[in-house]
Chain A
């Protein structure tokens, strides 16, 4: 799977939107962009994934650049519960069973 680059840490105020960037300049045409997050003392949990078009679900939105070399996870109103490490992972759509490879992610702090 291709490599991703994320900032080590970010900070946000509570109830404000948060934009978490991810660069993946070597992405291939068949790579899905997956986001997971890991709350303190818990296992990671799935957030969202997309291929080309922007995606929305109850947790977040995923904005994908037109050239697909970067993407942004958007939390529309950060809460204290959103403080976590966020992982951006590329996954070939033809390798649905293979293990995910996690990087170090972005540690998001939310300030009340």
Chain B
């Protein structure tokens, strides 16, 4: 079955280190998204991509970057991790089709702790 996987599921890092969270989907979806979720808050959009070599900033993009070199993967990089980036990160994908209602498929999340 097609799926979307995130890795690592849990990571602890130190302030100032570079961290990359991986997201891989096997649905061949053009659209991929990264959200973060903090305790007591809903999901907030970080970055998204509509296809290879396309990236767009979301609501909370400062301190994060993404690159899309193929259809399957959208890695999220924290260039210099900060304690404020301690969060649960969710990757999602959706099909790109005219008239599509845009159902999103989410990964199981990556819990990042920055000490």
List the interface of chain A (C-beta within 8 A of B).
32, 34, 36, 41-46, 49, 87, 91, 93, 95-105
26 residue pairs from A and B, CB less than 8 Å apart: A34-B101, A41-B108, A41-B109, A42-B106, A43-B92, A43-B106, A43-B107, A43-B108, A44-B90, A46-B103, A46-B104, A49-B101, A93-B101, A96-B96, A96-B99, A96-B100, A97-B31, A97-B94, A97-B96, A99-B45, A99-B58, A102-B42, A102-B44, A103-B42, A104-B42, A105-B42
Which of B41, B97, B102, B106 is within 8 Å of A91, CB to CB?
Answer: B102
Q: Which of B18-71 contact A (CB under 8 A)?
A: 30-31, 33, 35, 41-45, 48, 50, 58
The one of B50, B94, B96, B106 that contacts A45, using a Cβ cutoff of 8 Å: B106
Q: Mark B75-88, 1 if CB is under 8 A from A, else 0.
A: 00000000000000
Tell me which residues across on chain A come within 8 A of B109, comparing CB atoms: 41-43
A interface, over-half SS: loop
Give B contacts to A, CB under 8 Å. 30-31, 33, 35, 41-45, 48, 50, 58, 90, 92, 94, 96-109
Question: What are the residues of chain B within 8 A of A99 when measuring CB–CB?
Answer: 33, 45, 48, 58
Complex Cα distance, B44 from A43, in Å, reads 13
Q: Contact between B104 and A100 (Cβ–Cβ < 8 Å)?
A: yes
CA distance A90 to B95 in the complex (A): 18
> What is the CA–CA distance of A104 and B43 in the complex, to the nearest angstrom?
8
Residue of B nearest to A103 (CB): B42
Question: A55 vs B100: C-alpha distance in the bound complex, in angstroms?
Answer: 17
For the complex formed, measure the closest distance between the CB of A88 and the CB atoms of chain B, giving whole angstroms. Answer: 11
Please give, as numbers and ranges, the residues of chain B lying within 8 Å of A45 by CB-CB distance. 106
Pick the contact of A104: B41, B45, B90, B94 (CB < 8 A): B41
Which B residues lie within 8 Å of A87 (CB)?
42
Q: Give the residue among B43, B48, B50 with the most A Cβ atoms within 10 A.
A: B43
Task: Given A44-B90, A103-B42, verify A96-B106 contact (CB < 8 Å).
Answer: no
